[in-house]
């Protein structure tokens, strides 16, 4: 009987262990007018434990833009900066969370950049002043960025109580803000978050003005 009992205990442990991380959070993000909002970073602190680390990520350059515009990573992630354009770029940041420069290059640099401090990192290109990108580095175990429909889905989360933090490049002073507390049941949760952002004028050019990097950097540097 002992082997049978042992097997049952192992099976139960596997089942309940899997069930404990089976909850799904579906988040929706809107601005003050109720319009869907992309590029919102949501981070969550909650029950003990966290997903396996994802130590590698890519921040591409396509059509003279950073892609994605906003990338969220866990502290300690190594990021590669491939250049998919047929022209060269020179990527840099002066942000306190990560200062670095990748001199004029095409293709993919052989060495990734280690983002080892939490904070907002504003990216620019020395050659193309309108290029702006953001890396949000967090110590929180669960996080993600809303898509172009203003939604984000986080799977395999433990049911429990969480404290949320929100960030968006157009947020006042570009600083993270509290997102409230939520309880995620084992059956999952659909939650709408309202995010305060500074509106863009209708006459804003398709590409940011040359001062865009400086403005974004100075706001993020005051965190």
Each residue's pLDDT expressed in tens, for the chain with a length of 223 residues: 444 444 444 333 333 444 466 899 999 999 999 999 999 999 999 987 666 666 789 999 999 999 999 999 999 999 999 998 888 889 999 999 999 999 887 888 878 999 999 999 999 998 888 899 999 999 999 999 999 999 999 999 999 999 999 999 999 888 999 999 999 999 999 999 999 998 764 433 444 445 455 555 445 544 4
Strands 23-30 and 189-194: parallel
Q: Specify the CATH number for the domain of residue 157.
A: 2.60.40.420
- Taking the C-alpha atoms of residue 211 and residue 216, their distance in angstroms, rounded to an integer, is 9
Q: Of 208, 171, 185, 205, whose CA–CA distance to 64 is shortest?
A: 208
| 3-state percent helix, strand, coil for the chain, nearest multiple of 5 | 15, 45, 40
Residue 46 included in any domain? yes
Residue 16 included in any domain? no
Give the model's pLDDT for residue 209: 47
Residue 6 included in any domain? no
Q: Domains in the chain: how many in total?
A: 1
pTM: 0.81
Residue 123 included in any domain? yes
Residue 1 included in any domain? no
The string of DSSP letters for 179-215 reads EEEEEE-TT-EEEEEE---PPPPTT--SS--TTHHHH
Residue 38 included in any domain? yes
Give the model's pLDDT for residue 199: 76
Report the half-sphere exposure of 36 (CA within 13 A, side-chain side).
10
Residue 4 included in any domain? no
Q: Which domain holds residue 74?
A: 23-220
């Amino acid at each position: 009987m002992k082997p049978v009992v042992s097997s049952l205990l192992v099976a139960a442990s596997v089942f309940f262990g899997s069930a404990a991380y089976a909850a799904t959070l579906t988040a929706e993000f809107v601005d003050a007018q109720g319009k869907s909002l992309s590029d919102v970073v949501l981070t969550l602190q909650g029950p003990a434990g966290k997903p396996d680390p994802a130590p590698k990520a890519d921040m591409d350059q396509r059509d003279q833009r950073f892609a994605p515009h906003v990338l969220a990573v866990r502290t300690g992630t190594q990021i590669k900066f491939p250049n998919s354009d047929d022209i060269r770029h020179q990527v840099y940041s002066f942000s306190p969370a990560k200062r670095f420069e990748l001199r004029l290059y095409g293709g993919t640099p052989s060495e990734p950049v280690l983002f080892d401090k939490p904070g907002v990192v504003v990216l620019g290109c020395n050659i193309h002043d309108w290029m702006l990108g953001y890396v949000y580095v967090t110590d929180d175990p669960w996080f993600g960025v809303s898509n172009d429909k203003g939604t984000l889905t986080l799977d395999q989360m433990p049911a429990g109580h969480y404290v949320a933090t929100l960030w968006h490049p157009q947020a006042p002073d570009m600083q993270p803000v509290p997102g409230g507390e939520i309880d995620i049941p084992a059956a999952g949760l659909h939650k709408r978050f309202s995010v305060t952002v500074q509106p863009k004028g209708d006459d804003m050019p398709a590409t940011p003005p040359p001062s865009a990097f400086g403005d974004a950097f100075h706001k993020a540097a005051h965190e």
